[in-house]
Structure 1
Amino acid sequence: MPSDTTPAGLRERKKEETRRLLLEGAARLFKERGFEATTAADIAAYANVSVRTFFRYFDGKEALLLPDGVEIFSYVEQALAARPADEDPFDAVCNALLAAAEPFAASTLTALSHPLEDIERVVTARLVQAFSEFEERLTVLVQRRLPPDTEDGDLEAAVIAGAALSAVRAVLRTRRTRRASGIDDRGPAPLLRAFAILRGIGADHGGPG
């Protein structure tokens, strides 16, 4: 097995260092110049790489505003796996997403001195897309938590996953609108309220509660 001092190991370390510098440069330049005024070339120059190299790591400057989708999914999956096996599946999903809320909020955006509406829009759109893409995977994870003899277990899992992620999407959109109005609601509180609203809707219509 090659050691960390072999050419292959050095290449991997170089890649990680380049990625780190690109992320660091984006955070600093977005803060100093603003999102719109910063270009991919500016970020590449900070990391001392070419623009072509920049696009090998990221598909655009918007991609530097958030963690990779794979990282987001992995975090939610780990949080869900850590929930008690006998916990209600909907509660387990809600609690896992709540556990993930803070790391998502701690994106590059929160480091900016003056967050701009265009950045809020990009961040919201990317998170909404990421959670939508995660719905099928989350459905599978939820179904594994259901008793094997659950009637229409696949449907129940899909409804739970869809409802929980819809709440997340609603919170993201509402949060952007509130911040545009000067209302700061960082943290998991809005998501917690959204889940309570979901439960209330079920109770009001005779659903499980």
Structure 2
Amino acid sequence: MVTRTTGPGLRERKKDQTRHALRETAAGLFAERGFLQTTVADIAAAANVSERTFFRYFDSKEALLLPDSAELFARIEEAFLARPAHEDPLRAACAALGDAASYFATSSLTALAHPLGEVREHARAGLSRQVADFEERLTELVRERIPPDLPDADLEAAVIANCALSAARAVLRTLRNRREAGLQVDPENLLPRAFDILLGIGDASR
């Protein structure tokens, strides 16, 4: 007897594809037109779905400003665990975030790099909560790379995790400031540059 794939699996894959398409479409429109100038109708039309379908996946367009934290942070965690065991924890954390940068670029998180006036406060607050939650997990991962008998190992792990994530947040802030000033931006190279600066500070202090 041939075993057939059950329907729910296919339906879930289609739902994931639609959700991903809406996120990517929104990211492109937010980057092109700005958040306030983009409507739910615009997003639905560009993604070839109805507005009713849109609201099956997201409560509002503000919800699209928040990345799928579970998927995003899983990518970063996977990249961190794949780093060489002997690698310095700070370098490993920076490299893991850098490896996930391509996902940042294709998610609606890029909208947060636009001027603050275009982003609703509760969306920024939601992202801050997500980052705070992941900071705890990244701290745990870093702690596993630090010798347990090292004095203040818990503090060192927390500082490393906070610094790596702060560098990523600094990139978003810099992008917003440069756009507000009417300057050209190069988001692809800013994150590696931020990590180079951070690692340079660490090397200089030794």
Query: What TM-score, normalized by structure 1, do the two folds share?
Result: 0.72
Counterpart of 2:185 in structure 1 is 184
Gaps of 5+ in 2: none
Give the 5 Å matches for 1:74-113.
74-108=74-108
Q: CA shift at 1:151, angstroms?
A: 2.4
Q: CA shift at 1:84, angstroms?
A: 0.8
The 2-side partners of 1:43 and 1:177 are apart by 26
What secondary structure is seen at the aligned counterpart in 1 of 2:144?
A: helix
* CA displacement, residues 6-50 of structure 1 (integer Å, 9 cap, x when unaligned): 342343244234324534653565577653233224434554345
Counterpart of 1:195 in structure 2 is 198
Identity of aligned residues (%): 52
The 2-side partners of 1:78 and 1:40 are apart by 33
Is the contact made by 1:128 and 1:172 (CA closer than 8 Å) also made in structure 2? no
The 1-side partners of 2:186 and 2:31 are apart by 21
What secondary structure is seen at the aligned counterpart in 2 of 1:134?
A: helix
What secondary structure is seen at the aligned counterpart in 2 of 1:145?
A: coil
Counterpart of 2:15 in structure 1 is 15
Gaps of 5+ in 1: 204-208
Q: CA shift at 1:87, angstroms?
A: 1.1
Return closer, same or farther for 1:156/1:31 CA change in 2, 3 Å cut-off: closer
Counterpart of 2:26 in structure 1 is 26
The 2-side partners of 1:172 and 1:25 are apart by 20
Query: What TM-score, normalized by structure 2, do the two folds share?
Result: 0.73
Amino acid in structure 2 at the alignment position of 1:107:
S
Is the contact made by 1:139 and 1:161 (CA closer than 8 Å) also made in structure 2? yes
Between 1 and 2, higher relative CO (CA 8 Å, sep ≥ 6) is seen in 2
Aligned length: 196
Return closer, same or farther for 1:133/1:194 CA change in 2, 3 Å cut-off: farther
* CA displacement, residues 61-115 of structure 1 (integer Å, 9 cap, x when unaligned): 23435641112211111111111101111221122222223431343587x9xx9
Amino acid in structure 2 at the alignment position of 1:185:
D
